[in-house]
Amino acid sequence: MIVARGKPKSVQISPGLARVLVCLAAAIVAGVDFLLPANINIATFYVVSIVLAGWTRSVRWLWISTAVFVLLTFGGLVLAPAPVVQAVTWIDWLNRTMTALALVVVAVPVHLRLRNLVSLERSIVEIKQAELQLQENRKLLERRVEERTAALARTADDLKKENASRIHVEQELRESERSLRELSTQLLHAQDEERRHIGRELHDGLGQCLAGLKLTLHFLEGAIPPNDQAARARYSECMELSDQAISQIRTLSHLMYPPLLEKMGLELAIPWYVRGFEQRSGIQTKLDMPENLQRLSQELELTLFRILQEALTNVHRHSGSHTAEVNLRLAEGAILLQVKDSGAGMKTQSAGVGLRSMQERAKQLGGTLEVASGAAGTTVTATLPCGAAQSASAS
């Protein structure tokens, strides 16, 4: 079994203990030196004291100790007891001098070692202080990071709450928009149904009454004396007024809800309406549409016809134009209706009731309505996706 052994620990002596040991060693060596005969060179043991002086971590203490040891080396010749064999000679003094020089020489590397040691300890202290400062900075940074993280967490929670509130508001807005669109759709359907009802009432009710009135006037023609020219003039005037009223009632009922649209589709309803618009308004209108146009869904045909009605009505009321163009074409699964005039253009960009009605009708079928107005006139373009179409013959 192999046991791992670590590095041997170095002996550490505190500076205060080192000073005590230096003094104790110096006192022992000096006492022995003074008690022994003078020619016995025991002063070399002062080297031990010099080495011990290095543990004091003080260069000043080292050299003071060295100077004291040198003096004690020479003092051993003067204060020691007389030698037993022979007297002290110059050789003993030379020996002690060499010993003193040796002590100084020994003190020099101890001095250098001590300086390096002091510098190393100072560096170690600085490193430890730097480590402590680094630990404090790290703790401060960790505390700030924790505070910042907590603040970010609170901010994230606030953002989540705000986002949830915003999503809730958006959902409510979408729900409100959906409800308003459904309400608008119902209102437009109700409007179309009311127009259909009013058109039928005008045609079947008031139209029949006027027709009966005209027939009654025709029967009264025989009761007028042949020589009463004034009465016959009144009769002719009444017949003409009844014809005009019947014609206007028929036109109005057809405009409210044209039966031609329901029976034959856009292929015949659009040309019929454009010809009637030219006669009523005096605006020359050019029509461009494909021949043999297929039947579309009833809702799509009604939406296109209502947009055409509203657009031409705006041309007559607001543009001041003497000409107009109506273009109807199919392109990539969509049908495009364009009404263009050469009038003065729109004076304001705000949408009126008629324009909003056209836009809402287009949105209901997933389409768009664009209005471009300028000095050269106004162009209204409705783009609607085509549903299932069937030929006119199949209908």
CB atoms within 10 A of CB 296: 21
Side chain identity at 127, as an amino acid letter? I
Confidence of residue 84 (pLDDT cuts 50, 70, 90): very low
Confidence of residue 309 (pLDDT cuts 50, 70, 90): confident
Written out in words, the top-level CATH class of the domain with range 285-395 is alpha beta
Q: How many residues does the chain have?
A: 395
Predicted confidence at residue 342, as pLDDT, reads 85
Query: What is the per-residue pLDDT across 86-136, written as a single tens digit (0 to 9) for each?
Result: 566 676 677 677 777 766 766 777 777 777 777 887 888 889 998 999 999
Positive or negative, the CA dihedral 25, 27, 31, 34 is positive
Side chain identity at 208, as an amino acid letter? Q
> Residue 178 in 3-state DSSP?
helix
In the predicted model, what is the mean pLDDT of residues 48-73?
69
In the predicted model, what is the mean pLDDT of residues 327-352?
80
pTM over 0.75: no
Distance of alpha carbon 293 from alpha carbon 389, whole angstroms: 10
Q: What integer best gives the mean pLDDT of the chain?
A: 75
Higher pLDDT pick, 191 / 275: 275
| The token pair that represents 350 in the structure block | 């705000």
Predicted confidence at residue 141, as pLDDT, reads 92
Distance of alpha carbon 232 from alpha carbon 225, whole angstroms: 8
Residue 367: partners with Cβ closer than 8 Å, 6 or more residues away:
334, 382, 383, 384, 385
Query: What is the per-residue pLDDT across 169-202, written as a single tens digit (0 to 9) for each?
Result: 888 888 887 777 777 767 767 776 777 777 677 6
Sheet holding 368-374, edge to edge: 284-288, 323-331, 334-341, 377-385, 368-374
Distance of alpha carbon 380 from alpha carbon 369, whole angstroms: 7
Backbone angles phi, psi at 369, to 5 degrees: -135, 125
- What is the radius of gyration, based on Cα positions, of the chain? 62
Query: What is the per-residue pLDDT across 218-261, written as a single tens digit (0 to 9) for each?
Result: 777 777 777 877 777 887 888 788 777 777 777 776 666 777 77
Confidence of residue 312 (pLDDT cuts 50, 70, 90): confident
